[in-house]
């Protein structure tokens, strides 16, 4: 065991000395280059509560850091029919800023509403269910989102879409769960339908590919690539020539891009941080004919050593904001990676800790979970306070 610990310690520093892999094939342009990712004003407004909290505590430095966070680009989540009207003001705000600054705005959106969503957990069960015509309702939902992204105003902006977090990964590892097995066809067909409907020159699509602790194991890599390629091929049968840009990884999760220290529970995995996961999965994507481009969520991945196993995912205590969004290869050191992004808005709960709630999941009361916590998606100010305090690298304060 001592030998393994020494070996793990040595491996922990390999990203600093490894050369970046060769560029992935394909002529598509990184959608983040030459654009200004938009800082979601709706999220910034929620952070006013956090600023007030810090000021009430006479903690003016962290209040100023939270003010900085208000200007950092994050994704807007369209996770129910009720969120569709939010797209129009999002576009309006981005277009107003684009006209004022002359900088092309890149609006980032998560589309998250498959029928029988969150099939291997309970915390984020959605509005559509297969036993209530959920698949057709989902198609109508996608049609409505596509309409909002096709307006005259929308055509003047660029978009990045992340499709259906925590969906296709379940088809690789969780088909032993009855709900996942029953939803498998709908997950594939629904995602293919969304790809086909979102084909616009100004929209770049990334499918969700879970994270290294889930799909990064050697036995999961080729099956994962096969699923992504199959979904894309099915989309091309709906819309000829349909394209995606690549994959989004670590969405809403806590894995660091480059881990400073290899944690014990990552032993035996070549994908022990997201940098290594990218390099593990990319060759399998190329072989399957799927674009090997990635964006990596680091919105809550600033701190390591806050979990005891990869399966702990709900409101992890002492988490911190991570590397700020960038497409600079000086930071990324990996030509497969388009950008580091903040997909999960810091401060929105993963799930409730109320054991009597319909959507309660035991992971939301795990030994490392921040308790008490509200329902998934609800504002969790105590949590964002922790994210700001524990940010790594620390957030620069904005006093003026």
The predicted-structure confidence for 225-248, as pLDDT tens digits, reads as follows 999 999 999 999 999 999 999 999
Dist. CA 132–CA 83, nearest whole Å: 21
CA distances from 286 to 209, 222, 282, 309, 350 (A): 15, 10, 6, 30, 33
Decide which of 3.30.70.120, 1.50.10.20, 3.20.20.40, 3.20.20.70 is the CATH code for 36-390: 3.20.20.40
Asked whether the predicted pLDDT for residue 113 surpasses 50, the reply is yes
Tell me if 253 is assigned to a ligand binding site. yes
pLDDT digits (tens, 9 = 90+) for 183-197: 999 999 999 999 999
How do strand 105-111 and strand 76-78 relate by DSSP bridges? parallel
Asked whether the predicted pLDDT for residue 216 surpasses 70, the reply is yes
Domain locations along the chain: 36-390
Location of structure tokens 């995606």: 244
Location of structure tokens 């990064």: 216
Dist. CA 7–CA 130, nearest whole Å: 48
pLDDT digits (tens, 9 = 90+) for 347-391: 999 999 999 999 999 999 999 999 999 999 999 999 999 999 999
Mean pLDDT, to the nearest integer, of 48-54? 98
pLDDT digits (tens, 9 = 90+) for 14-40: 333 344 444 433 347 999 999 999 999
pLDDT of residue 125: 81
Tell me if 77 is assigned to a ligand binding site. yes
Dist. CA 87–CA 77, nearest whole Å: 10
Per-residue pLDDT band for 274 (boundaries 50, 70, 90) equals very high
| Percent share of the chain, pLDDT over 70 | 93
pLDDT of residue 123: 72
Tell me if 293 is assigned to a ligand binding site. no
How do strand 36-37 and strand 105-111 relate by DSSP bridges? parallel
Dist. CA 397–CA 400, nearest whole Å: 9
Asked if 297 is an active-site residue, the reply is: no
Dist. CA 39–CA 36, nearest whole Å: 9
Per-residue pLDDT band for 396 (boundaries 50, 70, 90) equals very high
Tell me if 182 is assigned to a ligand binding site. no
pLDDT of residue 63: 98
* CA nearest neighbour of 382 among 400, 396, 395, 369: 369
Q: Is-cis flag, bond preceding 372, omega within 30?
A: yes
Tell me if 30 is assigned to a ligand binding site. no
Q: Which residue in 116, 338, 350, 361 is the catalytic one?
A: 350
* CA nearest neighbour of 37 among 338, 399, 291, 363: 338
DSSP 293-334: -EEEE-TT-S--S--SSTT--SSBTT----SPPB--HHHH--
Mean pLDDT, to the nearest integer, of 102-111? 98
Asked if 118 is an active-site residue, the reply is: yes
**Alpha helices (H) along the chain:** 2-11, 41-56, 60-69, 87-101, 134-148, 168-173, 178-197, 212-215, 218-238, 274-288, 329-332, 381-389
Q: Which residue in 118, 189, 273, 361 is the catalytic one?
A: 118
pLDDT digits (tens, 9 = 90+) for 116-134: 998 988 777 889 999 999 9
**Contact indicator for 199, 148 with CB cutoff of 8 Å:** no
Tell me if 129 is assigned to a ligand binding site. no
Dist. CA 324–CA 314, nearest whole Å: 22
pLDDT of residue 7: 35
Radius of gyration of the chain (CA): 20
Average pLDDT, the chain: 93
Q: Which residue in 125, 158, 166, 297 is the catalytic one?
A: 166
Long-range pairs, 15-18, Cβ under 8 A, ≥24: 15/258, 15/273, 15/275, 15/276, 15/333
Mean pLDDT, to the nearest integer, of 325-333? 98
pLDDT digits (tens, 9 = 90+) for 278-321: 999 999 999 999 999 999 999 999 999 999 999 999 999 999 99
Tell me if 272 is assigned to a ligand binding site. no
Mean pLDDT, to the nearest integer, of 323-336? 98
């Amino acid at each position: 065991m001592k030998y393994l610990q020494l070996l793990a310690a040595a491996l922990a520093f390999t990203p600093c000395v490894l050369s970046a892999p060769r560029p992935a094939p394909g002529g598509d342009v990184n959608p983040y280059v030459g654009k200004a990712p938009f800082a979601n004003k709706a999220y910034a407004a929620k952070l006013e509560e956090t600023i007030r909290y810090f000021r009430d505590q006479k903690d003016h430095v962290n209040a100023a850091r939270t003010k900085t966070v208000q200007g950092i680009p994050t994704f807007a989540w369209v996770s129910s029919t009720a969120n569709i009207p939010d797209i129009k003001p999002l576009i309006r705000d981005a277009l107003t800023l684009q006209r004022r600054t002359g900088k092309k705005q890149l609006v980032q959106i998560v589309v998250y509403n498959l029928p029988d969503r969150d099939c291997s957990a309970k915390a984020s069960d959605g509005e559509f269910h297969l036993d209530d015509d959920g698949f057709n309702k989902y198609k109508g939902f996608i049609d409505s989102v596509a309409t909002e992204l096709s307006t005259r105003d929308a055509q003047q902006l660029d978009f990045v879409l992340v499709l259906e977090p925590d969906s296709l990964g379940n088809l690789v590892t969780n088909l032993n769960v009855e709900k996942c097995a029953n939803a498998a066809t709908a997950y594939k067909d629904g995602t293919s339908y969304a790809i086909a409907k979102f084909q616009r020159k100004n929209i770049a699509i990334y499918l969700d590919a879970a994270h290294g602790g889930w799909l990064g194991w050697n036995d999961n890599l080729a099956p994962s690539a096969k699923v992504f390629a199959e979904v894309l091929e099915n989309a091309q049968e709906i819309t000829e020539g349909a394209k995606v840009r690549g994959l989004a990884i670590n969405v809403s999760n806590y894995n660091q891009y480059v881990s400073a220290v290899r944690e014990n529970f990552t032993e035996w995995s070549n994908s022990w941080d997201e940098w290594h996961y990218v390099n593990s999965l990319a060759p399998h994507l190329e072989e399957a004919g799927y674009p090997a481009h990635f964006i990596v969520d680091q919105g809550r991945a600033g701190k390591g050593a806050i979990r005891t196993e990869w399966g702990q995912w709900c409101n992890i205590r002492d988490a911190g904001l991570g590397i700020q969004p960038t497409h600079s290869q000086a930071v990324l050191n990996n030509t497969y990676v388009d950008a580091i992004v903040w997909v999960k808005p810091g401060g929105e709960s993963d799930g409730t800790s109320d054991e009597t709630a319909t959507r309660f999941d035991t992971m939301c009361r795990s030994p490392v979970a921040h308790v008490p916590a509200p329902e998934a998606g609800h504002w969790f100010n105590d949590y964002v306070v922790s994210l700001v305090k524990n940010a790594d690298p620390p957030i620069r304060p904005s006093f003026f």
